[in-house]
Structure 1
Amino acid sequence: MSVVTTYAPEVEERLRGEAGQIISRYPQARSALLPMLHLVQSEDGYVSARGIALCAELLGLTRAEVSAVATFYTQYKRHPNGQYTVGVCTNALCAVMGGDIIYDKVSEHLGIGHDETTEDGVITLEQVECNAACDYAPVVVVNWEFFDNQTPTSAIELVDELRAGRPVTPTRGAATVGTFKEISHVLAGFEDGRADEGVGAGPATLAGLQLSRERGWTAPATDEARGGGAVEGGTVPNPYGSAERPPTTPDDTDPAGKRGPAGEGATAEEGKQ
């Protein structure tokens, strides 16, 4: 199979136009590289060789420099990705709550492992270190939209719905999940008009805020922050008084206290004595 190394003229014209909008947001062109990579990924479904070449040309970078960034971050794919990236969190809290089992069951059900894609090209499965939603563990994300409090059964139903081409509704966020290419375009900095859809933060996330309001807790004032932390009914004193670190205590061999708490500043000759 031949590899297409350039974009069709109309596609390249559109990409260059959008790239120009991205670059204009930064004082230095090379700072636009991260959203630019999302841009070419929104076209190809991964960071392709032609996408790397276009980024390098427009930003005045070498292809090696662009590739170095593209291979560092896991949101950039170096081979064709599925329409939906399903990420199962197996980090500490999600794992304890069943994340490992969910991943194993979904992997078995789909017949693929980490960073592999189903034969129909619909789903790429990922074992994620953290989805940053520990208050709803175990969590699964689909193209970075949250599906909270999952079970093996609900996760399998989720991927079956995706493969059947039926829309799925995240627990929080947009009303439906966009495709990998669509979300990549949003990550490149182009709004899709869906920022205000759905629930932004659920009860578990807001529990601490609600409790603090009910009990009248507020952030400590500047003096309190230096001297101790604010708690209900008063403050916990800093064991070092108002100092931010333990005070230096001079000893007989360092009467001026110039060496610090660990004898810092002693000369090499003094250290031999």
Structure 2
Amino acid sequence: MMKKSDLHVELLDTTRLNQLDSYIETIQDPVGSLINVLHRAQHIFGYIPRELQLYIARKLNIGAAKVNGVVSFYSYFSEEKTGKYLISVCMGTACYVKGAEEIVKTFLRELDVDKHEVTDDELFSVRDVRCVGACGLAPVVTVGEKVYGHVTPDDVAKIIKDFRGDKVC
């Protein structure tokens, strides 16, 4: 059995690993529930770095390649640290033709970051995703669980302000 101390990454603190372990212990078929385990890991840690993927693979007694394959396939999962609020701009066909690329550029400019970087205040990260399945609302932006439809570049500052609160954009 692998000990938590075997992991040499300070990001994987014992308290968070204990939370994940407790969750895994409640599942009857953890291997069959890999996506649920990964969702919980993402919720607890904020992202799923390679070291955590390896920990999950060992804990579930499955190959690390399988875990990484799931993490890298689904756009919900992130292997890199993100800001408290992850801004995802849909780049599916409907969103793209309705101006999603300009929306991404506007978010990056307003927040003064590049894609996948974290803002200095650690509040925001911006990424583009393949499709969020809301083509009728194109272009679509999600911030965490909140969905914004028919977004224009003019909406970007307000969306940021909604999550930043009273702080100046």
Shorter-chain TM band = 0.7 to 0.9
1 CA distance for matches of 2:144 and 2:36? 16
CA contact (8 A) 2:16 2:45 kept: no
Contact 1:81 1:117 in 2 (8 A): yes
- Which residue is 2:150 aligned to? 149
Equivalent pair of 1:84/1:123 in contact (CA under 8 Å): yes
Q: Which residue pairs with 1:54 in the alignment?
A: 55
Distance in 2 of aligned mates of 1:49 and 1:90 = 26
User: Which of residues 3, 6, 9 is equivalent to 2:9?
Assistant: 3
Please say if 1:18 is aligned against 2:18. no
Question: What RMSD over aligned residues (CA atoms) do the two structures have, in Å?
Answer: 2.4
Checking the alignment, whether the CA contact within 8 Å between 2:9 and 2:51 is kept in structure 1 is no
Please give the secondary structure, in 1, of the residue aligned with 2:87. Answer: strand
TM-score under structure 1 length normalisation: 0.52
Q: Give the secondary structure class of the aligned counterpart of 1:87.
A: strand
Provide, for residues 235-264 of structure 1, a one-character-per-residue CA deviation record: whole Å limited to 9, x for no partner.
Answer: xxxxxxxxxxxxxxxxxxxxxxxxxxxxxx
If the length of structure 2 is used for normalisation, what is the TM-score?
0.79
Alignment-derived partner of residue 178 in structure 1: none
Q: Which residue of 2 aligns with 1:98?
A: 99
Q: Distance in 2 between matches of 1:146 and 1:97?
A: 17
Counterpart of 1:114? 115
Separation in structure 2 between the aligned mates of residue 126 and residue 46 of structure 1, nearest angstrom: 14
Change (3 A) 1:63 1:95: closer
- Structure 1 SS opposite 2:33: helix
- Could you say what secondary structure the match of 1:31 adopts? coil
Change (3 A) 1:158 1:30: same
Give percent identity, aligned residues only.
25
Separation (CA, whole Å) in 2 of partners of 1:122 and 1:5 = 18
The verdict on how the C-alpha distance between 1:136 and 1:5 changes in structure 2, with shifts beyond 3 A counting, is closer
Q: Which runs of 5+ in 2 are unaligned?
A: 1-7
Moved more, 88-97 or 101-110: 88-97
Q: Equivalents in 2 of 1:11, 1:100: separation in Å?
A: 36
Which protein is bigger by CA-based radius of gyration?
1
Offset of residue 142 of structure 1: 0.9
Count how many residue pairs are aligned between Structure 1 and Structure 2: 160
More helix by share: 2
